[in-house]
C-alpha cells in the first residue's frame, strides 16, 4: 500500500490558506486548492487556533543583511571592530557581539548570521494575560461563569477604570484561549464559550452555500389546484416531521378533507430514509385517496421527485415561514404532543404503537367535522371510491 508523502507548504501557500480562511471558506474548500484532504489544511490552521499569525518584521534597531555583508567584507579586509562600527554608525559593542555570536572574526558569514538572527526572533512576545497572572485569574473566573470575552473586557474597564493593568481586550482573551502556546489560559476554559469549537472561525464564515435551504424543483403551494383549497375533494394530504429527543422523529400525515391521521416511523431525517418510508406508506392507499402532499421546506423532502415518480403523487411546498398553510397538520402535531411530549425519544415506538396512537386521534370527534370522527369521514371516502 502506497502512502502519499507529507506535504511541506511554502509561506505563500500558507498565506493563501489564511486568505481563504479569513474569507469564510471551509476546510474542504481550501483543501481542494492543494488536492489534499481537509485534515492537511486543519493541521496548519490549528497550530494557532484558527487565528492568523501576525506577519514577521524586523525591528528598526536590528542589523540588516546589507550591514552584515559590510561587516563580513570589512573583517575580510582586516579592519578593526571600531572602524566597522564607525562606518555603519553603530556602537562598537553591537558589532563586537554580532561577530562573537556568529563564529568570530575568522568564521563570520553574513548570510548565516542573518538567518540565525531571524530564527531567534521567532520567540513570541508574552501577552498581557501571561505577564499579569492576577488578571488571568480574574478572566478565568469570569469564563467559568460563562461570561463572554466581550462581557469580561467591558466589565474590567468598568470595575478598574483607573488601572490599565487590568484592562484587556476581548480579542486578547480569545487569542489566549485558541493559541495555547501563549500559556495564559487553560484550554479547558474553551468549553465555557457559547460556541465550543477548537478553532476560531472567520466572521465571514458560513455553512450556508448559495443553494442552502433550497430544494431543487420545488412546486410552490401557489400552484396547487384550487380544488385542494376548499377541502371538498378528498385525497390531498399535509405532512411534516414531529421531533423527539436524541434527534428522533416520526412523519405525520393528515388528510385535509376528513382530518384523518397517519403516523409513519422513520429511522432518521435524511431524505432517502424519509422518502422511502413515505413511498411504502403511500402504497397502502388507493390513488383516489392520495393525490397530493403539501410539506414545509424541510430538507428531508429534497428527494421529492423520487417520491412523485414512485407514487404519482404531486408534492407542493409551503411558502417560507408559513406553517399556517399546513394548518391541519400543525394542529394535529399539537394534539400529538399529548402522546409524544417534548423530550421523549420517539424512536422507541414501533409502527404498531404509532398506528394505535393514530387510531386514538382518528376516533376522537372533531368540532370541525360536526362532531363526527376522522375515522367515520375517511370510511365514507373509502366506501365512495370502492
pLDDT at 254: 97
Give the whole-angstrom CA distance, residue 118 versus residue 68: 13
pLDDT at 275: 95
Give the whole-angstrom CA distance, residue 165 versus residue 12: 38
Tell me the pTM.
0.48
pLDDT at 273: 95
pLDDT at 183: 61
For the structural domain made of 221-385, what CATH number should be given?
A: 3.30.420.10
Measured in whole angstroms, how far is the alpha carbon of residue 272 from the centre of its chain?
23
Residues 6+ apart with CB under 8 A from 275: 301, 303, 304, 306, 307
DSSP 200: P
Measured in whole angstroms, how far is the alpha carbon of residue 238 from the centre of its chain?
32
Q: Are strands 261-265 and 292-295 parallel, antiparallel or unpaired?
A: unpaired
Q: Are 81 and 99 in contact (CB under 8 A)?
A: yes
Domain residue spans in the chain?
11-46, 65-120, 128-192, 221-385
* pLDDT in 10s for each residue of the chain, 386 residues: 444 556 677 878 888 888 888 888 888 888 888 777 778 788 888 777 777 877 777 777 889 889 999 999 999 999 999 999 999 999 999 999 999 999 898 889 999 988 888 877 766 667 788 888 888 888 888 888 878 888 888 888 888 999 888 898 888 888 777 776 566 677 677 777 766 565 666 656 555 444 445 788 899 999 998 888 888 889 999 999 999 988 899 999 999 999 999 999 999 999 999 999 999 999 999 889 999 999 999 999 999 999 999 999 999 999 988 888 999 999 999 889 989 988 889 989 999 999 999 999 999 888 889 888 999 999 998 888 76
C-alpha cell at 251: 412523519
Phi-psi group of 173: left, alpha or beta (phi > 0 → left; psi -120 to 50 → alpha; rest → beta):
alpha
Amino acid at each position: 500500500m502506497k502512502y502519499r508523502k507529507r506535504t511541506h507548504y511554502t509561506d505563500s501557500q500558507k498565506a493563501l490558506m489564511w486568505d481563504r480562511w479569513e474569507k469564510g471558506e471551509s476546510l474542504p474548500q481550501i483543501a481542494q486548492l492543494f488536492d489534499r484532504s481537509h485534515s492537511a489544511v486543519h493541521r496548519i490552521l490549528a497550530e494557532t487556533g484558527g487565528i492568523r499569525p501576525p506577519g514577521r518584521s524586523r525591528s528598526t534597531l536590528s542589523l540588516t543583511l546589507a550591514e552584515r555583508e559590510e561587516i563580513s567584507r570589512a573583517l575580510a579586509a582586516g579592519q578593526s571592530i571600531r572602524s566597522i562600527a564607525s562606518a555603519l554608525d553603530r556602537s562598537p559593542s553591537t558589532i563586537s557581539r554580532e561577530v562573537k555570536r556568529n563564529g568570530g572574526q575568522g568564521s563570520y558569514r553574513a548570510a548565516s548570521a542573518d538567518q540565525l538572527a531571524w530564527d531567534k526572533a521567532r520567540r513570541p512576545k508574552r501577552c498581557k494575560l501571561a505577564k499579569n497572572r492576577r488578571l488571568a485569574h480574574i478572566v478565568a473566573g469570569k469564563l467559568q461563569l460563562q461570561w463572554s470575552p466581550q462581557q469580561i473586557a467591558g466589565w474590567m474597564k468598568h470595575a478598574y477604570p483607573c488601572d490599565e493593568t487590568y484592562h484587556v481586550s476581548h480579542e486578547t482573551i480569545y487569542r489566549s484561549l485558541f493559541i495555547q502556546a501563549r500559556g495564559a489560559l487553560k484550554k479547558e476554559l474553551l468549553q465555557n464559550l457559547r460556541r465550543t469549537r477548537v478553532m476560531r472561525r472567520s466572521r465571514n464564515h458560513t455553512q450556508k452555500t448559495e443553494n442552502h435551504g433550497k430544494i431543487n424543483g420545488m412546486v410552490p403551494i401557489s400552484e396547487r389546484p384550487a380544488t385542494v383549497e376548499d377541502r371538498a375533494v378528498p385525497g390531498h394530504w399535509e405532512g411534516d416531521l414531529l421531533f423527539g429527543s436524541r434527534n428522533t422523529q416520526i412523519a405525520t400525515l393528515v388528510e385535509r378533507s376528513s382530518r384523518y391521521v397517519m403516523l409513519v416511523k422513520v429511522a432518521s431525517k435524511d431524505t432517502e430514509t424519509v422518502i422511502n418510508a413515505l413511498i411504502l406508506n403511500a402504497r397502502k392507499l388507493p390513488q383516489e385517496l392520495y393525490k397530493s402532499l403539501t410539506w414545509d421546506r424541510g430538507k428531508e423532502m429534497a428527494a421529492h421527485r423520487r417520491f412523485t415518480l414512485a407514487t404519482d403523487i404531486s408534492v407542493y411546498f409551503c411558502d417560507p415561514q408559513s406553517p399556517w398553510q399546513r394548518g391541519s397538520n400543525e394542529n394535529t402535531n399539537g394534539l400529538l404532543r399529548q402522546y409524544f411530549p417534548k423530550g421523549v425519544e420517539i424512536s422507541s415506538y414501533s409502527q404498531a404503537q404509532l398506528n394505535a396512537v393514530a387510531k386514538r386521534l382518528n376516533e376522537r370527534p372533531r368540532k370541525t367535522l360536526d362532531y363526527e370522527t376522522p375515522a367515520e369521514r375517511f370510511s365514507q371516502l373509502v366506501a365512495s371510491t370502492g
